[in-house]
Amino acid sequence: MPLQTISPAIVGPRPKLKITEVECHVLLAPDFNPGFTSSAQDSFIVVIRTDGGVWGVGECDANPWMAKACIEAPGTHTMGLSIRDMLIGADPFEIGAIWNKLYLGTAMNGRRGMVIHAISAVEMALWDLCGKAVGKPVHALLGGATRETITPYASLQPAGHSFEQYCEALCASAEGAKNLGFKAMKTEITMNGPYAHGGMRESYDRHTEVLASIRKTIGPDITLMVDVQYLWEDAATCLSVVKDWKEFNCYFLETPLWSDNVHEIAKLVESAPMPIAFGEWLATRFEFEELMDIGKVQVAQPDVGRVGGIGEAKIVCDMAKERGRTIVPHCWKTGISISGTAHLAFVTNHCAFIEYLPPQLCHERLRRELAREELVLSPDGLIPLPTKPGLGVEVDWDVVKRYKVA
């Protein structure tokens, strides 16, 4: 696969800017719970500044201390250069060339995983910066919006440590999302497996009971997705449970197996009664190529804060379109990443939904307080096209100071 990249589509002259500073901020909510599976309890944000005073902000979904090290670490040889050093002096409008330079320059440090996640924050900040510099929203720089609205889904929030508490919390969250006007929802149902909520060890039958309760709560007309967080080890075990889930009309089943087990994923795709979705942890187009061509997944879920940034996510979306697959991006961070995801969705017609939670549905402090996105849920359950320059997000810098730990 060629190493093509994406840069802003700008007609006419553009400001002459050079990158002068790269700031890294590690944020941690004081009430974080290490037993949660939620990565929204911390954040890593990057601010890129220029000699013209224009700046941009980006975020990645990864361990923030590790991401900070990836960017600030000095380079010692040509295959392991410093990300920050490579950025200083660069033209921020050359996002594609910068991405290629960072990818090749850090290849020995990590062609996948943490280094790519860190680059995601840098790349996102560049899109925000460029949009602000020319007074245009990011979707315009990506080639122009192809739709006026996108449909968000609410991720339902679990709680408690018993089966009854867990089920009741998800149903209450579903009721709250329905009352806000959401037309689509995704529920976690993970009471077993490596990432079981609160260390629970409930039977697979009880997972079915929870799904039945949620569907009853929201009724038949709301789109329902299910995330089981890598619950099963093989396709046969998964199928022995989800074969009975057809009656619940699930839009997709997310991460039922381990992401690297693409051959088992393909077996599951062949026989499951609903589409299979993967991609939240993947880095670069190359991992998605394997996921779609060998794993045969019907729904690809690039995360702009992990896959390599907005441009890399756009390349994945284009790959999915070529293969007739649906895009439903993953995003479990603050309004910074949510905004980046939305701009991607507005230029991607085969993006069915985006993950979105308004403050009143968020448990995590940083999701509620750090940033205010332009996006608004309308009474008809849709989000209209944003118009502000860049990502259109406002960061509360007092919150950054309050929760910064490195």
287 compared with 41, residue with greater pLDDT: 287
User: What pLDDT was estimated at residue 256?
Assistant: 98
Tell me what the mean pLDDT of segment 363-376 comes to. Answer: 91
User: What pLDDT was estimated at residue 38?
Assistant: 85
User: What pLDDT was estimated at residue 359?
Assistant: 80
Amino acid at 389: P
Looking only at the bridges linking them, the beta strands covering 184-188 and 223-227 are parallel
User: What pLDDT was estimated at residue 360?
Assistant: 79
User: Percent of the chain beyond pLDDT 70?
Assistant: 100
34 compared with 404, residue with greater pLDDT: 404
Amino acid at 291: L
pTM: 0.97
Q: How many helices (H) does the chain have, and how many strands (E)?
A: 14, 15
Quick one: pLDDT band at residue 90, thresholds 50, 70, 90?
very high
Least confident of 38-42, 215-219, 275-279: 38-42
User: What pLDDT was estimated at residue 189?
Assistant: 98
User: What pLDDT was estimated at residue 352?
Assistant: 98
Tell me what the mean pLDDT of segment 203-224 comes to. Answer: 98
Q: What is the average pLDDT score of the chain? A: 96
Give yes or no for residue 365 having a pLDDT over 90.
no
Give yes or no for residue 1 having a pLDDT over 80.
no
Q: How far is CA 87 from CA 4, 56, 93, in A?
A: 19, 13, 12
Give yes or no for residue 195 having a pLDDT over 90.
yes
User: What pLDDT was estimated at residue 246?
Assistant: 96
Tokens standing for 326? Answer: 């649906």
Tokens standing for 29? Answer: 């909510």
DSSP string, 51-78: TTS-EEEEEESS-HHHHHHHHHSPP-BT
Tell me what the mean pLDDT of segment 134-141 comes to. Answer: 98
Give yes or no for residue 2 having a pLDDT over 80.
no
Length of the chain: 406
User: What pLDDT was estimated at residue 66?
Assistant: 98
3 state SS of 307: coil
| pLDDT, tens digit, 9 for 90 and up, residues 18-39 | 999 999 999 999 988 888 888 8
Quick one: pLDDT band at residue 364, thresholds 50, 70, 90?
confident
Choose among 91, 90, 73, 94: nearest CA to 82. Answer: 73
Quick one: pLDDT band at residue 140, thresholds 50, 70, 90?
very high
E-strand spans in 145-301? Answer: 149-150, 152-155, 184-188, 223-227, 250-254, 276-278, 299-300
User: Percent of the chain beyond pLDDT 90?
Assistant: 93
| pLDDT, tens digit, 9 for 90 and up, residues 226-268 | 999 999 999 999 999 999 999 999 999 999 999 999 999 999 9
- Describe the crossing of helices 114-134 and 310-322 by its angle, rounded to 10 degrees: 100
Count of Cβ atoms closer than 10 Å to residue 168 Cβ: 16
- The answer to whether the Cα torsion of 70, 72, 73, 79 is positive or negative is positive
Tell me what the mean pLDDT of segment 134-161 comes to. Answer: 96
Looking only at the bridges linking them, the beta strands covering 276-278 and 250-254 are parallel
Give yes or no for residue 17 having a pLDDT over 90.
yes
Distance between CA 17 and CA 54 in Å, rounded? 8
Residue 156 DSSP one-character state: P
User: What pLDDT was estimated at residue 35?
Assistant: 81
